[in-house]
Homo-oligomer: A and B are copies of this chain.
Amino acid sequence: MNTGLSKSDPMDLAMRLAQAAFAAGEVPVGAVITDANGKLIASAGNEMQALSDATAHAEMQVIQRAMKATGQARLDGFDIWVTLEPCAMCAGAIAHARLRRLYYGAPDVKGGAVDNGPCLFHQPTIHHKPEIYGGISEAESAALLRRFFETRRKSAESP
């Protein structure tokens, strides 16, 4: 769902985290959690390479950091901003954390689980559904991801 919203400060920060992830050799995705008043609670980029952990997606990292930062097991009333449509693992984590709103950047036709694939929040068994706003900084996020995978393909092809 594209709400027509323009860039916002948290998504700008998430984009900067995605760029930093790129520079570190990670798939460039960044995520931020803000509280009900828009105050920054936690931020993270993808850390799969850094942690040697295929589950260390930016969303998992930022959710776990926000829980540590607040001492809360759930993040009711908080919002998550992520540069790419979350996968099933991360969408499931967003439901468990009971986040209020999900703002995301580029859709992920192959790996996304929010508006693509299993469309998890539309499943009858889902126990919590955030408000969902897609397409924020979509072009910028998609371009960064495209550039990352092109660079990786080129370095794989070079002798």
Q: Which of A's residues lie within 8 Å of B, judged by CB? A: 48-49, 51-55, 60, 63-64, 67-68, 71-74, 87-93, 95-98, 109-113, 116-118, 120, 123-127
**A89 CA to B97 CA, complexed, in Å:** 11
**A91 CA to B123 CA, complexed, in Å:** 15
Smallest distance from the beta carbon of A14 to chain B beta carbons, Å?
A: 19
Q: Are A127 and B113 interface neighbours, CB within 8 A? A: no
**A118 CA to B116 CA, complexed, in Å:** 12
**Closest chain B residue to A94, Cβ basis:** B89
19 other A-B residue contacts (CB within 8 Å) besides A53-B73, A55-B67: A53-B64, A54-B67, A54-B74, A54-B96, A55-B63, A55-B64, A87-B92, A88-B88, A88-B91, A88-B118, A89-B91, A92-B92, A92-B113, A111-B125, A111-B127, A117-B123, A117-B124, A117-B125, A118-B118
**A113 CA to B48 CA, complexed, in Å:** 24
Q: Are B48 and A73 interface neighbours, CB within 8 A? A: yes
Smallest distance from the beta carbon of A84 to chain B beta carbons, Å?
A: 14
**A112 CA to B127 CA, complexed, in Å:** 11
Q: Are B97 and A93 interface neighbours, CB within 8 A? A: no
**Closest chain B residue to A88, Cβ basis:** B92
Q: Are A97 and B55 interface neighbours, CB within 8 A? A: yes
Residues of B within 8 A of A116 (CB): 125
